Amino acid sequence: MTVGEAQGRVLLIEDEELIGTLVELNLAQEGFDVEWHKLGEAARNKSFVEEFDVVLLDIMLPDADGVDLLRELRSMGVRTPVLMLTAKGDTDTKIRALDLGADDYLTKPFDVHELSARVRAIIRRAQGERHTASAERLPIGPYSVNLQTRMAETREGEVQLSEKETDLLEFFARHEGKTMPRADILEEVWGMEVYVSQRTIDNFIVRFRRLFEDDPENPHRFITVRGVGYRYER
Ligand code: CA
């Protein structure tokens, strides 16, 4: 996967060699573009931090306290999402970090797959917020969806969409032109905790084609990529 296709840019600030190596390898493998720093001073540069989609911030750093760094970032007006990497059982620190504007936290030792799922969720939320702020109407060819009311202008006239349908359309719009495996769609739109069969996606696609394709039997927007998943073309 090239940098241009990266799932997001991650700034990792962690002094522990083993944890840093594991996190960097795993996130890179999952398509993230990771930059690893071992000192807290990396988080003191506003414009540098703002180049990233998410910051993974260790609390016990050789030159700084992660919670103090978080406070500094927020007071400088940096809104980049921050996930704190906390020591086991330190509830006070967690609460303090969340109060100061951390977006999430993970307790060490953590599962790297859980970390990547959390990172993905944070980036998705941030993109969703930006998206909703910039345009509440999502165009789909000659049709469209109002993301606030979930009312859609479709081939069959005005249709009220469900929250999941709207989430899935937003997901496709964010990944326009890219082939998305079914497992990724499930993980991002339905989350890890809920069991949903991959068939569920197929049912949504059938409905999307009926609503948003000029000829549902011959789709040009919601395209099946055999053996993989789907690709959306506006
Ligand atoms: Ca540390």
- Parse the chain into domains and list their residue ranges: 9-131, 137-232
Mean pLDDT for 185-213 is: 85
Predicted local confidence at residue 3, as pLDDT: 43
- Going from the Cα of 14 to the center of ligand 1, the distance in angstroms, rounded, reads 6
Q: Backbone phi, then psi, for 192, in 5-degree steps?
A: -80, -30
pLDDT, greater one: 199 or 215: 215
State phi, psi for 166 to the nearest 5 degrees.
Answer: -65, -45
pLDDT value of position 88? 66
CA distances from 163 to 37, 145, 146, 168, 196 (A): 39, 12, 12, 9, 16
In 30-162, where does DSSP find H-type helix? 46-49, 66-75, 91-99, 112-134
Contact 25, 19 (CB under 8 A): no
Structure tokens at 33: 């573009």
Residue 223: predicted pLDDT: 97
- How far apart (Å, rounded) are the C-alpha atoms in residues 130 and 53? 12
1 CA distance to ligand 1 centroid (A)? 30
Q: What is the distance in A from the centroid of ligand 1 to the CA of 13?
A: 9
pLDDT digits (tens, 9 = 90+) for 55-101: 999 999 999 999 999 999 988 888 899 999 987 667 788 888 888 88
Q: Is the pLDDT of residue 133 over 60?
A: no
Are residues 168 and 204 in contact, defined by beta-carbon separation less than 8 angstroms? yes
CB-based contacts of 192, cutoff 8 Å, min separation 6:
117
Residue 164 Cα to ligand 1 midpoint, Å, equals: 39
- pTM score above 0.75: no
More confident residue, 108 or 135: 108
The reply to whether 137-232 shares the fold of 9-131 is: no
The segment with the largest mean pLDDT, out of 13-17, 147-151, 159-163, is 13-17
Q: pLDDT at position 91, please?
A: 79
Query: Quick one: fold of 137-232?
Result: Arc Repressor Mutant, subunit A (1.10.10)
- Strands of 33-37's sheet, edge to edge? 33-37, 9-13, 54-58, 82-86, 104-107
Q: What is the mean pLDDT of residues 121-129?
A: 84
CATH architecture observed for domain 9-131: 3-Layer(aba) Sandwich (3.40)
Q: How far is the CA of 196 from the centre of ligand 1 (A)?
A: 38
How many angstroms is it from 60 CA to the middle of ligand 1?
Answer: 4
Q: How many CA atoms lie within 13 A of 144 on its CB side?
A: 10
Given this model, what pLDDT does residue 4 score? 45
Tell me what pLDDT residue 2 has.
42
User: Per residue in 2-44, pLDDT tens?
Assistant: 444 578 999 999 999 999 999 999 999 999 999 999 999 999 9
Q: Poorest-confidence range of 25-34, 66-75, 133-142, 201-210?
A: 133-142
State residue 134's pLDDT score.
54
More confident residue, 21 or 190: 21
Ligand 1 centroid vs 37 CA: distance in angstroms? 12
Cα of 187 vs centre of ligand 1, distance in Å, is: 30
Instruction: Supply the DSSP symbol for 32.
Output: -
How far, in Å, are 39, 64, 111, 234 from residue 42 at the CA level? 6, 11, 25, 40
How many angstroms does the Cα of residue 223 sit away from the middle of ligand 1? Answer: 46
pLDDT at residue number 65: 93
